[in-house]
Amino acid sequence: MTDFSRRQVLGAAATTAILAAAGLPFPVLAQQGRSSVTLAIGRDIQGLLTPADRTGPIEGNIMRTVCQGLIRFKPGSFDWELSAAKSLTQVNDTTIEFELNPGLMFHGGFGEMTADDVKFSFEQFGKIGADGKPAGYAKDWAALDHVEVTGKYTGKILLKSAAPQLWLVVLPDNSGLIISKKAFEGGAYRSDAQPIKLIGTGAYILAEWVPNQRVVLKANPDWKGTKPTFPEVVLQPVRDPKTAELALRANELQFTPVEPADAGEIEKEKDTKLLKQDSINYVWIGLNVEKPPFDNAKVRQALRLAIDVDQVLAGAYNGTVKPAYALMAPGLLGYWADAPKPKPDPAAAKKLLAEAGHPNGFKCTLTLMNKPTFQAIGQIVQALWAEIGVQVDLQVLDAGAYYAVGKGDSGKNLDMALQRFGGKADPAFQTQWFVASQIGTWNWQRWNDPAFDEASAKAASTNDKAERNRLYIEAQKRMEASGAFIWLTHEANIFAFRPWLKPAVLPNGDDMLYDRFTTA
C-alpha cells in the first residue's frame, strides 16, 4: 500500500496538467478534416430498412441517401427532379410511364437496376408479411393496381384511380425508393440479420451501423451522378437535444436540430450558424367531440376564445414560430389564406360557457407528451383556461403511453390532447387522419363529418389542381366549423451547424438529403 511518495504524486499530477494544457494526448483537439461530417440524429435505427416498412424519418433519411427513386426532391423544396428515371410521364389519370437510366448498379454485386426492381419495390407495399402484418406504408401505394414491365428499363405504373399525391408524397419520397429484388430475396434490408445490408444505387453506401453508436455512410464509388462533397457522413444518435447542442459547441458534431427555445442562445455562439425555416407540420389541441362537455359546440368555442395563441407561442417557442389558423401550412396546395383568425376574448368565452350550462367552468384533463415544449404549452393553456373557470389537469405521458391513449375504446375517455403531426408536401397526407374511419386510430377528436370525408376523398382522386385546392379549403372550413381543433402553429425547423457546412433539409424539417450536404 501507499508506495508512492508525495514527490512522485506531485510530479505525476504536474506532468498530466502540462500534457493536458498542451492538448497532446487529446485527439479531440485535432481539427477535423472535411473528409467526414458528423450529424446528430435523435435516435438509433429501429426496425427494417425497407421503403414499405420503415419506422420513421431516421431510417427514411438513410434509405434516401443509399437508394434512388425514379425522381427525387431538390434541396430545400418539394420540387422534384429525375433521379433513376430517364423519363417519367403521366400518360393519363391512371397510367404513369417510366424509363430507367441504364447502368445504375446496385452495390454489393447485386447487378443493374431494371424495371423488374421497380415493379418489385412498388408492389411490395401491397403484400401482407409472413406475420400477417400489412406493410407499414401500404396506404402510400393504395392506388397502385400493378406495375407492368415493358422492357429491361421501361414500364408502366398502372393505378386503380387518379392519385395526384403520388407525385409529392410517394414517388420522390421514401415510398418511391427502388430496392434490389435479388438483394431482398437474399436477406438484405432486414434488421434481424447483422450486419444489416441496405443495398441501393445511390450516392452513398451504408458502410457501418454500430447499434446505439453510429451509422456510417461512405460515398458510393460506382455513383455516376454529382460526386457528394463528403466522402463520409457519420450519423451520431444523440437522444438528448441539450447534449447535441453541447457536442456541436465542442465541435464533435457539425449539424444538429435544436429546440426553438434554445435558438436565441445558440445564435450568439461564434462559429455556429442557424438555419430556420417555417415548417408544414401542425400542432393543435384536439377536443373529443363525443365526450361531455366537449360535445357542446359552445364549450369548444369558449375554450378556443380563451386561448391567446400568440402568448402560448411566445412562452413555449420563444417566439420562433408563427401561429397556425388551419390545417394546411402556407405554401401548400389548399392553404386557406382567409381562415378566421380569432382574437382571444375571455369575457365572450365565459358567456358561452354560461350559455352551455357551465357558468362556473368545469374540470378536465389535457393529455400531452413529455417534451419540454409541449409541457410549456400545457402550462400556459392551463393558466389561460383557469381565467374562465376551466380547471385543467395535465396528463404528461411518454411517447409509448401517449400514442396508445387515443386508440380504440380508450380514446372515448380522452378529454382533449395536445397533438403534433408531421406534414408532407401533398395535402392528402394531412387530411387523411381526420376522416371518420380514423376514429379510434388517429382521429382523437372522434370527429365524424361526412362532408369533410367526401371533400378529402374527391380531392385525393383528381388531378385538377384548382379543384383540389377548392376541395381542401372546403374541408378545412368543415374543420373550422366543428370547433374541435384549436390550431397553434405549423412550427419552424431550426438547425445549428458549423459555418462551413451547407445542409440540405426538406421543408418539413424531418427529411434530409445527406448526399446534398455540402460546404458553404
Partner 1 sequence: MSPTLRYVGSRLVTTVLVLVCATVLLFSLTLFIPGNPAEVLLGPRATPEAVAAYSHIMGLDRPLLERLAIFLGNVLKGDLGRDVISGRPVLDLVLEVFPYTLTLTLSAIGLAVLLGVPLGCYAATHPGSVLDQVGAVTSVAFIALPNFVVAVFLVLIFSVWLHWLPVLGVGRDGGWGDAVLRLILPALSLALSWIGYIARLLRASLLEVLGEAHIRTARAYGVPERRIVYRNALKLAAIPTVAILGLGVGRLLGGAIFAEIIFARPGLGTLVYDAIAVRNYPVVQAAVLVVVGVFTLTNLLTDLSYLWLDPRLGRRLGEGR
SS3 115: helix
- 485 strand-pairing partners: 286
Q: H or E element: which one contains 64?
A: helix 57-66
Please identify which residue in 86, 224, 242, 465 interacts with partner 1, judged by CB under 8 A: 242
Our finding on whether 162 is near partner 1 (CB under 8 A) is: no
Q: Are 39 and 275 within 8 A, CB to CB?
A: no
Nearer to partner 1, 224 or 407 (CB): 407
14 binds partner 1 (CB under 8 A): no
Beta-bridged to residue 391, according to DSSP, are: 363
194 lies in the site for partner 1, by CB under 8 A? yes
- Closest CB to partner 1 among residues 413, 463: 413
| Options 20-28, 99-107, 314-322, 330-338: segment touching partner 1 (CB under 8 A) | 20-28
Task: Count other C-beta atoms under 10 Å from residue 471's C-beta.
Answer: 22
520 binds partner 1 (CB under 8 A): no
Residue carrying the nine cell digits 431550426? 494
Q: Indicate whether 133 belongs to the interface with partner 1 (CB under 8 A).
A: yes
Vertex 222 angle, CA 221 and 224, to 5°:
110
How many residues sit close enough to partner 1 to count as binding (CB under 8 A)?
A: 54
Report the residue from 5, 7, 27, 185 that binds partner 1 according to the rule CB under 8 A.
27
- Minimum CB separation of residue 68 from partner 1 in Å reads 25
Q: Would you tell me how many other CB atoms lie within 10 Å of the CB of residue 87? A: 12
Min separation Cβ 406 and partner 1, Å: 9
With CB under 8 A as the contact rule, the residue among 239, 343, 412, 465 that binds partner 1 is: 239
Asked whether position 500 contacts partner 1 by CB under 8 A, the answer is no
Nearest approach in angstroms of CB 209 to partner 1 is 11
- Interaction between residue 16 and partner 1 (CB under 8 A): no
In the block, cell 367552468 appears at 361
Look up residue 264 and give its amino acid: G
| In the complex, least distance from residue 190 CB atom to partner 1, rounded to whole angstroms | 7
Q: Which three cell numbers stand for residue 82?
A: 429525375
Identify the residue among 113, 183, 233, 247 touching partner 1 (CB under 8 A). Answer: 247
18 binds partner 1 (CB under 8 A): no
Q: Catalogue the E-assigned strands of 354-484.
A: 363-369, 391-397, 416-421
In the set 180, 201, 236, 461, which binds partner 1 (CB under 8 A)? 236
Answer yes or no whether residue 211 interacts with partner 1 by CB under 8 A.
yes
Joined grid coordinates for residue 517: 450536404
Residue 26 in the binding site for partner 1 (CB under 8 A): yes
Distance set, CA 250 to CA 29, 41, 101, 253 (Å): 10, 17, 44, 8
The answer to the question of residue 367 lying near partner 1 (CB under 8 A) is no
User: Which of 247, 235, 229, 256 has the alpha carbon at shortest distance from 497?
Assistant: 256
126-148 as b/e: b if 16+ CB within 10 A: eeeeeeeeebbbbebbebbeebe
**Least distance in angstroms from the C-beta of 374 to partner 1:** 15
| Amino acid identity for residue 133 in this structure | K
| Cα separation, 152 vs 487, whole angstroms | 50
| 32: contact with partner 1 by CB under 8 A | no
Report cis status (omega within 30 of 0) of the bond before 293.
yes
Strands 391-397 and 363-369: parallel
Give whole-number Cα distances, 450 to 208, 287, 437, in Å. 50, 18, 11
Q: Does 270 bind partner 1 (CB under 8 A)?
A: no
Q: What are phi and psi of 498, to 5 degrees?
A: -70, 145
Rg (CA), the chain: 26
Residue 95, helix vs strand vs coil:
strand
Q: Cell numbers 454529382 correspond to what residue?
A: 226
Name which of 33 and 400 has its Cβ closer to partner 1.
400
Tell which one of 90, 229, 251, 375 touches partner 1 (CB under 8 A). Answer: 251
Binding mask 48-87 for partner 1 (x = CB under 8 A): -------x--------------------------------
Q: How far is the CB of 193 from partner 1 (least distance, A)?
A: 9
Report the phi/psi class of residue 47: left, alpha or beta, with left for phi > 0 and alpha for psi in -120 to 50. Answer: left
Out of 164, 237, 315, 507, point to the residue binding partner 1 (CB under 8 A): 237
Among 146, 214, 470, 502, binds partner 1 (CB under 8 A): 214
Site for partner 1, residues 428 to 467, rule: CB under 8 A: 441-442
Q: Select from 175-183, 187-195, 359-367, 449-457 the region that touches partner 1 (CB under 8 A).
A: 187-195
**CA 140 – CA 148 distance, rounded (Å):** 19
Q: Which is nearer to partner 1, 55 or 462 (CB)?
A: 55
- In the list 13, 14, 23, 86, the residue contacting partner 1 (rule: CB under 8 A) is 23
Rule CB under 8 A: which residues touch partner 1? 1-2, 20, 23, 25-29, 43-44, 46-47, 55, 131-134, 136, 138-139, 190-192, 194, 211-214, 234, 236-240, 242-243, 246-247, 249-253, 398-400, 403-404, 407-408, 410, 441-442
